[in-house]
Every structure is written in C-alpha cells, then in structure tokens.
Amino acid sequence: MTIKENLALPVGTTLDRFIMRKQEDFPYATGELSQLLRDIALAAKIVNRAINHAGLTDIGGAYGKQNVQGEDQQRLDIVANIRFIRALRNGGEVCTIVSEEEDGLIQTGNHKGRYIVAIDPLDGSSNIDVNVSIGTIFSVYRRLSDQGADGTIEDCLQKGTEQVAAGYIIYGSSTMLVYTTGNGVNGFTYETSLGEFFLSHPNITIPAKGEIYSVNEGGFHHFPAGVKDYIELCRVRNYSARYIGSLVADFHRNLLKGGIYMYPNTQKSPLGKLRLLYECNALGFIVEQAGGKASDGKNRILDLQPNELHQRCPLYIGSKEMVEEVEALLMPRKVKDRSLAAV
C-alpha cells in the first residue's frame, strides 16, 4: 500500500467523538454524563496498561486480604479500584461511588455531582495469573438527594430500571468498552498506538436464540431442578458448553454470538453469588438494550429492589428465547414432565 492510499483510509469514529454526537440522547445532562463516560474510559486505559504489565511487574497475584464479599483480593483488584475511584473523583461529575471492593459508600467530595456510580473494578481477577480475559463493570444513576452534600444510601439503592448508563470493559486479546445510555448498545476497541477507543461494534444486537450455554457444570448436582433440566436439553441439542469463569468474558461472547449465561442459586448459596448492584443490573440493562433478557429465574433483574449494597441474586442472562425457556422450567408445577420428548 502506498503512502497516498494509506492516508486515504478512514481513521474511524473515536469514543470521544461518538459521545459528543450522542449528547442529544440525554439533553438533561448538559454534558456531565458525557464527561463521566470519558473519565471511565481514561481509567480503563490506565488499568489496561497495568494488566498488560502484570507479568513484568510485581502487581500480579494475591494481595493477602479479603474484600467485603469474603473473596481473596488480587493486587490488580486494588490497582483497578484506586484508578477508577480517582478518575471519577477528579472528573467532578460523581458525588458517590459504591464498589464491590469497598464496604460502604465512597464520597468523592463533589457535592454538586449529579451521578452515582456502582462499579466492579476488576471482574474475574482470579484469572489474571493464567492470562484469561477479565473486565470492569459499571452502572450510572442520577442522584435522588439534593445537590450540595454527600450522596446517600438511598441514592445508591435504586432499581436497575433507573440506570442512565451502564457498560463494561473487557481486557483480552483486544480491549473493548461496551456501553449503553438507553439508546442501543455500542462497542469500542482500544487502539494502543493511538491511545484511543474506536467504534468497532455499532448497534450491537444479540440473536434471539443461540447455541451456547455458559454455566459452571461442576455445581450441577446442587442446581435447582429446572436448571438441571435445561442443561440436559442443551446437551441433547448439541449446544456448545462455553464457560470461561470471567463473567464479562462469558457475557461478551454470548452478546455477540447468541447464548445464555447462568449462575443459579445453590444449596451453598441460596441467594445466588453474583452482586445485583455491581454486576447484574449493568449487564441486564445492556442485554435488554441489545434485545436480550436478564432474569433471576422468576423476575426481571432490572425490577429487583436492592436492599443492601452487596446484595446477591441468581442470574440468567442472554438470548431472550433461551432465558424464557429456563424461566418456564423453573416455574413450580404440580407435575413436572422431566422427559426430553419435546426437544
């Protein structure tokens, strides 16, 4: 390719330019939400650099402490948590942050900030040391309390239906930021040499039905009967079992290709394991905007009322027809036909 031909190639649409064009989608924000999304993108670039250097610097491995969930913290968990909090605090648009890594509310001191952010700074971080894709998940809400003071617990415990934006960043073979503001879903791939996110996946829609099911089948014997029945159906139908163990990575693949991700409640975890505020709400908002569905097995995820910051719930999310099929199998029935005759 000649220099002239190379220069004629379009560079593409950057995240910043895309956000500016879409500001009319949320005129009430007068630019604040746009700035907030840029702050998240900046922190994502910094975290991406740290992840790529994890094998070369002393930031991999366990930190030696547990988070509020009782899970072992990785050093990069701490790095990501600090970076995102710092970016959101410095950006000035967020009054309060809640993080999966922190016990309570994180007040930024931005008393005029109009937004609340709930974030899982580094989902799947236990996979860092084995070079598996990991991610960041975030939700954005408008504050309910009056400006001029810190945000309140009521600001943070809003239903998923009240989200004004949500997204995730996946750090893998390429780094992508996928987000929605309630007007469809768009994905941006990070171009490292230019230091910019470029629109690569416009108007993402998930197929209504897929042939991938993602669940940790190691817990099969502890799953509800309806989930066992559905897994058996998937096996008979020769669906592909794909489970990475990083929620963002499993969700991202199914969003693009069609499929269902399941994390049921079990005898050991009767309320489920995933966090409603930090994981389920954000991904539920995204999947619905892409034409899919998110459920706890009975109820729409976005309709659930959070009662505490670290509330857990089961999650069935992905292609709409597949989620509805699981819901039907989980419904109580007087006589359950456990045969596979209707496959």
Which residues are known binding-site members?
Answer: 100, 120, 122-126, 216, 243, 273, 279
The Cα 64–Cα 52 span in angstroms is: 22
Contact call for residues 339 and 317 (beta carbons, < 8 A): no
**Residue 338, both tokens:** 């456990």
Residue 180: CA count within 13 A, CB half-sphere? 20
The Cα 81–Cα 136 span in angstroms is: 10
Q: Residues of 26-62 as b/e, b for ≥16 C-beta within 10 angstroms?
A: beebeebbbbbbbbbbbbbbbbbebbeebeeeebbee
The Cα 240–Cα 309 span in angstroms is: 35
E-assigned strand segments in 242-300: 260-263, 274-275, 293-295
- Provide the 3-class DSSP secondary structure of residue 341: coil
Binding annotation for Mg(2+)? 100, 120, 122-123, 279
- Residues 6+ positions from 244 with CB-CB distance below 8 Å: 124, 127, 132, 133, 214, 250, 253
**Residue 247, both tokens:** 């929620």
Binding annotation for substrate? 123-126, 216, 243, 273
CA 324, 327, 331 angle in degrees (round to 5)? 140
Contact call for residues 48 and 190 (beta carbons, < 8 A): yes
Distance of CA 215 to the CA centre of its chain: 17
**Closest Cα partner for 47 from 71, 82, 21?**
82
